Structure 1
Amino acid sequence: MAVTEQDEQTENPLLEGLRLRRTPEPCALVIFGASGDLTRRKLFPALYALALRRLLPEQFAIVGVARSEETHEAFRDRMEQAVREFGRDEFRQDVWDSLAEGIRYVATDFADEEGEDRVAACLAELDEERGTRGNRLFYLAVPPAAIGTLIQELGKRRGRGGWKRLVIEKPFGRDLATARELNATLDEFFTEDEIFRIDHYLGKETVQNMLALRFANGIFEPVWNRQFIDHVQITVGESIGIGGRAGFYEEAGAVRDVFQNHLLQLVALTAMEPPIDFTADSVRNEKLKVLKSLHTPGPKSVVRGQYGPGFVEGVEVPGYRDEEDVAPDSETDTFVAAKLYVDNWRWADTPFYVRTGKRLPRRATTISIQFQAAPHPPFEDIASEGLRPNVLVVHIQPDEGVSLEIGAKVPGQGMTIRSVHMDFL
């Protein structure tokens, strides 16, 4: 990338290493599980957004790998439709065409040598055509049961040329034992700085803004504790059902699909102590302290449920047990709610109410912090609505923003108080 005169004037050598390069090095992105929902809804719209902002290297290629038979052209067309449907940015055909030139598809389950050879041959061809220099970013958007074998095969065939990096989507294993087993397999073939265990929820703008809200504003941190906060509510609600994901959902349920990753990440961001800096290690260490402090909830503090048949926006929809490929006597949870406690100095005895579910009345993800009521409000007898506690709500999706509920005087004669919202979008 050419350096402009302005770049040279504003360059600061003291910041070297503290900011990301504008574009990464040449590489080939290999997506395993490319026929899945995650690739369509999240990965390709995100890749297109990067291309639109010129944040991808010129020497870049994408290889989709999945079991279903499909041509390069058919895969490109399907991903183009996904970007049009799920992307947030204006669709520009020239940007997509430029990105699509480097897109390939390989049909294999990568469990046999022939399949491995086809992927390797495709990557070698792209090294020549696209100049990707043997650099590989492997994205594992596959079921947890397939990850261990796939890591072993990738490790055995990693080669010596270029760097190799590995991105693993949640859920990471099925339970503690399988997660530890998976970590042992990773350690055998990859170094820790080559491994990226991710939760795509952390990429949402308002989730990241939670850190700025807390630690960049002096008015919040002094009252962000058990003395001033009555309780916290975190909701991850979806109005859709499981769609075509019965195979995955029957194995996972709401606890493994959302609770143990998305919800607990939001709990950690809300409850964590200020990190010494905003490097990945520092933030992760503070989140880990929160997770280690969580009190294991008992049966009376957990509710599990499953959606039944009904109507969504006037359209009749089936219940979970009536969904295709779901067992008629399935006990899989599609809703879970829990009352959690963080057993540390800051949050002792402050409940965190968390819940997630499908087929709820509306799609909404929010973090609500309800503060303690005023100890002796002089307006209690004359307030028209009664004085409600102050509530700070962080809206994550579908509409991002922050709102604060406060008490204010109703215009006119007399002293009547009502709750109003200050919205920051």
Structure 2
Amino acid sequence: MDPHVFVIFGASGDLTRRKLIPAIFQLYKNNSLPKDFALLGVSRTEFTDEAFREAVTTDNKHLKKKEGEEEQLKEFAKSLFYQPIDTNDPEDYAKVKDRLHEMDDKYNTRGNYIFYLSTPPSLYETIPEYLHRHDLNAKNGGWKRLVIEKPFGYDGKSARELNQILLQYFEEDQIYRIDHYLGKETVQNLLVTRFANGIFEPLWNRNYIQHVQITSAESIGVENRGGYYDESGALRDMVQNHLLQIVAHIGMEPPNTADAKAIRNEKLKLFQSIRLISEEEVPDYVVRGQYIAAEMDGKEVKGYREEKGVPEDSRTETYVGIKFFIDNWRWAGVPFYLRTGKRLPTKVTEVVVTFKSPPHRLFFNVNEIQSTPNQLVIRIQPQEGLALHFGMKVPGAGFHVKTVDMDFHYSDLTDAYVPEAYERLILDCMKGDPTLYAMGDSVEAAWKFIDPIINAWKNNPDITVHGYPSGTWGPAAAEDLIEGEEGWRNPCEEISNSQENCEL
């Protein structure tokens, strides 16, 4: 790996303490950082180098230190530096440039810089422009990379404008749009499950698959983020980025090679194949809801409109369920279902692939034990792993069929180290591997699917916002989206539990 300086704009903020410094310290402990490496924090707060080091290491409650790691932490902290600036003042970026040149001399980092924007989205246009004014984006004399956090725009129009502005100052291969969901091992494993196994790939199409469900549930409410969340909602916060990325991994065609360009191009083609839902069709294909006050885990919890910062008449969705289709040869006619929400019974993200039943129900009779169709459950979090549900004969007389489970848990690989999402993604950026980062074209294509839904909710006040009691699986209307008899699979704590009503 090339020597470089890792520059964090917004270094005094929460994300730096919670995710970035812990991830980089873990890379340091695993000897994954280059020998010549330094980190420069940049923000408005008036820290000295020592004060910054103390704030993000010694006093950082999110940095979990094991016994005996104190010396390692002290050594790691020596490579951390800080430069206070006014991020809205272009002249202040000269201070950043001077510090970087000092580090090049001291650490032999050769002009290689990663600029990580851990800032409000309002600065995504400002910082790249001011870096450009001081030639800090130039490839000559070392490589430069720009990392930005979601949201990548607020709608399709703002996403296109953001991409156009970024491309004025950085080339596409320099821009890394980070989505921490893509750093999860189980999301990456979707590709391996599909393309490395002869028992799955031949069945992964419209001839054998009845439908696909993707559920991402959270048991918490909006906490203290009511004001922010009300400007976003579940559709923008979860579906446009995280869940559509999972759809891409499930639905994309096999890439010619496993390199970044081939994989990202196939994902782009998948996004372009999703059938758009017109504004008039939104009530038939999309259900939105808000959680209301109820008892949850033995405690009374507030409804969404009672949360701090949320207007009393808010129509922002805390739950969204969507039915859609992918118009290509592989998936023609196969419905895909997405749902995500807050104040659902448990925190879980999983993909359920339901296979078609055999054409002749040979063993069906009135005494048959109820069995579900064959399903492959891919659990992304928690209890990461896979479960396969299929029918077996119940011992005894007659052909009574019961659904049984065969499962695998990542925790069974006890000798394998599984990196955290940010750790994996930051390491990939340091290596110059953009496979798990979003391309600008893909972001815009995803917004094309989301925009008509947002516009329908905005332009048609008659579209219902369904209330659902906290602790339930969302509005009853969402059940009507599902075709067939099975309905949604409501995940249990145990991945292999196929019972509809289980203890969470």
Q: TM-score, normalised by structure 1?
A: 0.86
Kindly state the Cα deviation for residue 350 of structure 1 after the two structures are TM-superposed: 0.9
Letter in 2 for 1:278: A
> Contact conserved, 1:383 with 1:417, CA < 8 A, in 2?
no
Q: Which residue among 183, 203, 212 is the counterpart of 1:203?
A: 183
Distance 2:67 2:187 in 1: 23
State the Cα distance separating 1:265 from its structure 2 match.
0.6
Which letter maps to 1:421? D
| Deviation (angstroms), 1:89 | 8.8
Matched residue, 1:7: none
Seen in structure 2, the aligned counterparts of structure 1 residues 29 and 353 have a Cα distance that, compared at 3 Å, is same
Assess if the C-alpha contact under 8 Å between 1:383 and 1:415 holds in 2.
Answer: no
Structure 1 contact 404–423 (Cα < 8 Å) conserved: yes
1:351 and 2:328 aligned:
no
Equivalent position of 1:321 in the other structure: 305
The one-letter amino acid paired with 1:32 is: F
Distance in 1 (CA, whole Å) between partners of 2:199 and 2:174 is: 39
User: What residue in structure 2 maps to residue 397 of structure 1?
Assistant: 381
- Whether the 8 Å contact between 1:49 and 1:89 is mirrored in structure 2 is no
Q: Counterpart in 1 of 2:461?
A: none
C-alpha distance in 2 between matches for 1:81 and 1:354: 42
CA deviations on 1:220-239 (whole Å, 9 max, x unpaired) are 11111111111100011122
SS in 2 for 1:275: coil
Q: Does the aligned pair in 1 maintain the 2:214–2:349 contact within 8 Å?
A: yes
Q: What is residue 475 of structure 2 aligned with on the other side?
A: none
Q: 1:417 aligns with which of 401, 423, 435?
A: 401
Is 1:153 aligned to 2:153, yes or no? Answer: no
Of 293, 308, 315, the match for 1:309: 293
Judging changes above 3 Å, is the alpha-carbon distance between structure 1 residues 209 and 378 closer, same or farther for their aligned structure 2 residues? same
Give, in angstroms, the shift of residue 166 of structure 1. 0.7
The Cα shift of 1:306 comes to: 2.3
Q: 1:336 to 1:205 in 2, by over 3 A?
A: same
User: What displacement does 1:335 show?
Assistant: 1.6
CA displacement 1:39-77 (0-9 Å, x = unmatched): 344323322222221111122222233344555455444
| Aligned position for 2:69 | 92
- The one-letter amino acid paired with 1:145 is S
Distance 1:389 1:183, change over 3 A: same
Equivalent pair of 2:386/2:407 in contact (CA under 8 Å): yes
Once residues 304 and 47 of structure 2 are traced to their aligned partners in structure 1, the CA distance between those partners, rounded to angstroms, is: 31
- RCO (CA 8 Å, sep 6+): is it higher in 1 or 2? 2
Which residue is equivalent to 1:66?
43
Residue among 333, 338, 345 paired with 2:322:
338
Report whether the alignment pairs 1:29 with 2:6: yes
CA contact (8 A) 2:2 2:34 kept: yes
CA contact (8 A) 2:3 2:112 kept: yes
Q: Does 1:165 align with 2:148?
A: no
Match of 1:256 in 2: 236
Give the equivalent residue in structure 2 for 1:380: 364
The answer on whether the counterparts of 2:87 and 2:127 sit within 8 Å (CA) in structure 1 is: yes
Which range is displaced more, 138-147 or 272-281? 138-147
Distance in 2 of aligned mates of 1:340 and 1:249: 25
In the alignment, the residues of structure 1 paired with residue 223 and residue 156 of structure 2 have an alpha-carbon distance, to the nearest angstrom, of: 28
Check whether the contact 1:382–1:415 (CA below 8 A) recurs between aligned residues. Answer: no
Partner of 1:226: 206
How far has the Cα of 1:367 moved from its partner? 0.7
1:133–1:161 contact (8 Å) kept in structure 2: yes
Q: 2:218 aligns with which of 238, 246, 252?
A: 238
CA 118–91 in structure 1, closer or farther in 2 if over 3 Å, else same: farther
2:407 partner letter: D
Q: For residues 255 and 48 of structure 2, what CA distance do their matches in structure 1 show? A: 48
Deviation at residue 87 of structure 1 after TM alignment: 6.2
| 1:237-295 CA-partner distances (Å, limit 9, x unpaired) | 12223334345423322111111011111111111111111111111111111111111
137, 146, 162: which is aligned to 1:182? 162
Aligned residue pairs total 402
Query: Is 1:294 the counterpart of 2:278 in the alignment?
Result: no
Greater displacement, 185-194 / 110-119: 110-119
TM-score when normalising by structure 2 = 0.73
Say if 1:378 and 1:349 are closer, same or farther in 2 by CA, change over 3 A: same
What is the correspondence of 1:79-158 to structure 2 with a 5 Å cutoff? 79-80=56-57, 85=62, 92-113=69-90, 115-158=92-135
Change in Cα spacing, 1:134 to 1:248, as seen in structure 2 (3 Å) is farther
* Aligned-partner Cα distance in 1 for 2:203–2:323: 22
The SS at the match of 2:325 is: strand
> Offset at 1:392?
0.2
Instruction: State how far apart, in whole Å, the 2-side matches of 1:63 and 1:269 are.
Output: 35
**What RMSD in Å do the two structures reach over aligned CA positions?**
2.6
Shift in CA distance, 69/367, structure 1 to aligned 2, threshold 3 Å: farther
DSSP-derived class of the 2:360 partner: coil
Offset, 1:36: 4.2
**Percent of paired sites with the same residue:** 50
User: Residue 389 of structure 1: SS of its match in structure 2?
Assistant: coil
User: Which whole-Å deviations, capped at 9, do the CAs of 1:108-140 have from their partners, x for residues lacking one?
Assistant: 451114642443344344334443333210112
Show structure 2 runs of 5+ residues with no match.
Answer: 410-504
Q: Distance in 2 between matches of 1:205 and 1:90?
A: 27
Of residues 253, 257, 262, the one that matches 1:282 is 262
Separation in 1, partners of 2:275, 2:253: 17
Alignment partner of 1:290: what SS? helix
CA distance 1:139–1:368, change in 2 (3 Å)? same
